[in-house]
Amino acid sequence: MSTGSSIAVTSLPVCLWPLTRGMVEPNQEFHGLVCEGANVLPSKFLEDAFREGHGKVVNLKRLDEVINSINGWYMERGLFGLVSGVDIFSGGIIRLQVAEAEVNNISIRFLDRKTGEPTKGKTKPETILRQLTTKKGQVYSMLQGKRDVDTVSTMGLMADVSIIPQPAGDAGKVDLVMNVVERPSGGFSAGGGISSGITSGPLSGLIGSFAYSHRNLFGRNQKLNISLERGQIDSIFRINYTDPWIEGDDKRTSRTIIIQNSRTPGTLVHGNQHDNSSLSIGRVTAGIEFSRPLRPKWSGTAGLIFQHAGARDEKGNPIIKDFYGSPLTASGKPYDDMLVAKFECVYTGSGDQGSSMFAFNMEQGLPVMPEWLFFNRVNARARKGVEIGPTRLLLSLSGGKVVGSFSPHEAFAIGGTNSVRGYEEGAVGSGRSYVVGSSEVSFPMLGPVEGVIFADYGHDLWSGPSVPGDPAGARYKPGSGYGYGFGIRVDSPLGPLRLEYAFNDRQAKRFHFGVGHRN
């Protein structure tokens, strides 16, 4: 039994390919098979299909059943292929002719959003074509084409994407035309929200934002975002440029350049001051990161980031110690400088919040200059979801450690909405090391609403006193604690809205409100 090397292809859908029978001699015993044009059909499939008839008189009804099974094999896989002819020669040799439609050419056609007529696009065609797994010369697969449509859609540039097979100039081949309708490439936006900073005054907690974004720079799917968020204490000015796929790279490596100037409350580690004043942490950050898939469900990121950070009082003046005399910088100067080499590896299951996840992050401070900080920081997070009837059990564990010289405000803060519920943010502890475990049971209630029962536990592994100035000890943070409670989740366009009521081991009660999944 053999598979021939000749190729018979067609440019029409499989349902239009006719089956023709050539020379047929009756009462022939089947002794061999020759198949021409079947480049993707496994030879083992053919062997299994014809094995029962070997040495027996050819049964035309049985032959039709075998041909239908071959056609069904192509159909199940979405391939453009079909048995197009059959001959039975003297000596009991059956010859099958199979037509498989090879891709002759792939082109991009831009359509106007309003009229649907062809128009000139802003995106370079090669930027779209390199996203496709369908290539010239292979048998066209409708399933693969659908995946290509989904891939192009996830670029975020297109309002509509479709693939249309068309007859090619060469007989038996198919041309693919991908129709795309582009979205607007970007623009300005403004909004507002509520800050988590502890402030005072009639405008306490209000924050405004203004942003400009361009999602298709140079027609190459490169992203530029410039944003400003401003509150009574919080402020973030950020410039972010991302190339999702560096040109000429076959590993789908992305590049991101970040420039950021931020001011955030320093309450997580240092809390409010004894006189009820507050301090903030100012950071100027610039860096570059590269990310790429490592294997299915695994991705990696490596980068180099420079940070200039220090504390300020309510008037914006630099300060080096808090109310308790604890230092606010590692160097003793108003600001700490650091150059950080970063590596992160992430595993994600199905992508659903209830699926498995693992993330490992390592940062290494590089003392290129004598006064720059030299430290190593590692952090890991793991999550596992288990379906139990209509309910879902979600277990999560995170932990980390830092060694060397680091800014006290960079200590691991334990407690709060995304840590140990029942405590204020950072109220359990602030240490060089930490571990936090959590378990949740969620169950459906009504429509998009589900109920949650949870329990959390966190510990600083007795590392609080090793943080410069022991800010946790000065504020009598216990270093360990647990919380438990219940809540509801509501699906929304922003992600799940979480409202939770928690009790802690110090007989305190606290409401928690969050948007999105827990870290």
* pLDDT of amino acid 14: 33
**How confident is residue 23, by pLDDT bands cut at 50, 70 and 90?**
low
Please tell me the least confidently modeled range out of 252-266, 338-352, 371-385, 425-439: 338-352
Backbone angle region of 186, left / alpha / beta, with phi > 0 → left and psi within -120 to 50 → alpha: left
* pLDDT of amino acid 212: 96
* pLDDT of amino acid 279: 87
Please tell me the least confidently modeled range out of 42-51, 270-279, 356-365: 270-279
Instruction: For residue 109, give the DSSP letter.
Output: E
Q: Which residue has the higher pLDDT, 205 or 95?
A: 95
Q: What type of residue is 72?
A: G
List the domains of the chain with CATH numbers: 29-100 (3.10.20.310), 102-182 (3.10.20.310), 186-515 (2.40.160.50)
- pLDDT score of 202 more than 50: no
- pLDDT score of 204 more than 70: no
**How confident is residue 26, by pLDDT bands cut at 50, 70 and 90?**
low
Tokens of 485: 């409670």
**How confident is residue 20, by pLDDT bands cut at 50, 70 and 90?**
very low
How many Å apart are CA 246 and CA 251, to the nearest integer? 9
How many Å apart are CA 326 and CA 467, to the nearest integer? 10
- pLDDT score of 22 more than 80: no
Q: What type of residue is 267?
A: T
- Residue given tokens 């509801």 in the structure block: 488
How many Å apart are CA 305 and CA 357, to the nearest integer? 26
Q: Report the mean per-residue pLDDT for the chain.
A: 88
- pLDDT score of 209 more than 70: yes
pTM check: above 0.85: no
Q: What type of residue is 299?
A: S
* pLDDT of amino acid 27: 67
470-516, pLDDT tens digit by residue? 999 999 999 999 999 999 999 888 778 999 999 999 999 999 998 87
Question: 3-class DSSP state for residue 166?
Answer: strand
223-239, pLDDT tens digit by residue? 999 999 987 778 899 99
Compute the average pLDDT of residues 315-331. Answer: 89
In sequence order, the 6+-apart residues with CB closer than 8 A to the CB of 225 are 211, 212, 213, 214, 238, 239, 240, 241
41-88, pLDDT tens digit by residue? 998 998 888 888 777 887 888 888 899 999 999 999 999 999 988 988
- pLDDT score of 312 more than 70: yes
* pLDDT of amino acid 274: 67
Instruction: For residue 354, give the DSSP letter.
Output: T
Cα angle: 320, vertex 408, 375; to 5 degrees: 120
CA distances from 11 to 84, 102, 145 (A): 13, 8, 16
Neighbours of 40 (CB within 10 A): 14
**How confident is residue 407, by pLDDT bands cut at 50, 70 and 90?**
very high
Backbone angle region of 221, left / alpha / beta, with phi > 0 → left and psi within -120 to 50 → alpha: left
Q: Which helix (H) or strand (E) covers residue 271, if one does?
A: none
Q: What type of residue is 114?
A: K
8 Å CB contact between 407 and 437: no
**How confident is residue 434, by pLDDT bands cut at 50, 70 and 90?**
very high
Compute the average pLDDT of residues 288-303. Answer: 96
* pLDDT of amino acid 302: 98
91-122, pLDDT tens digit by residue? 888 889 999 999 999 999 999 999 999 999 99
Q: What type of residue is 504?
A: N
* pLDDT of amino acid 435: 98
How many Å apart are CA 248 and CA 267, to the nearest integer? 46
